[in-house]
Amino acid sequence: MRIILQRVSSAHVDVCGVTVGQIGSGLLALVGITHTDTSVQTAWMSEKLLSIRLFPDTEGKMNLSLNDIGGGLLIVSQFTLYADTSKGTRPSFIDAAKPEHAEPLFQELVQMVQERAATSSSSINIAKGVFGAMMDVHLINDGPVTIILETR
């Protein structure tokens, strides 16, 4: 599993001109899933998404997590994170999991994050895009801070 994680001032995702997920300050997670991913990867990522320390403390150091500050988490599926561009000029997506494998894991990731967020002392708004849809993702990158998370 591969996630591009961006700290944002705000973000929303639209499908056919309709906003389907929206957050204020928080994190945007673009999620790619490969063939070998299982529930082990979704569990690890769900914990990491809520606990990674990307927000500034009173001294300006990235020392606070979503669990610490509340905020939002917008989760969007993005199979193109597994593009192979090593040959030619057209990307190959052979390493991206097929939808029948990827969608249940994407939904499981969202559910695990929602369950973990519900037990947090902070109020965390969890939103998501629509798996497999053509989406317009809007964001204001804060920092900018962009991190790549990857399971092996």
Residues noted as catalytic: 78-80
DSSP 25-59: SEEEEEEE-BTT--HHHHHHHHHHHHH---EE-TT
Structure tokens at 112: 């695990």
Q: How far apart are the first and last CA of the chain?
A: 8
Spatial distance between the Cα atoms of 23 and 4, rounded to a whole number of angstroms: 17
Q: Do residues 73 and 26 lie in contact, with contact meaning Cβ atoms separated by under 8 Å?
A: yes
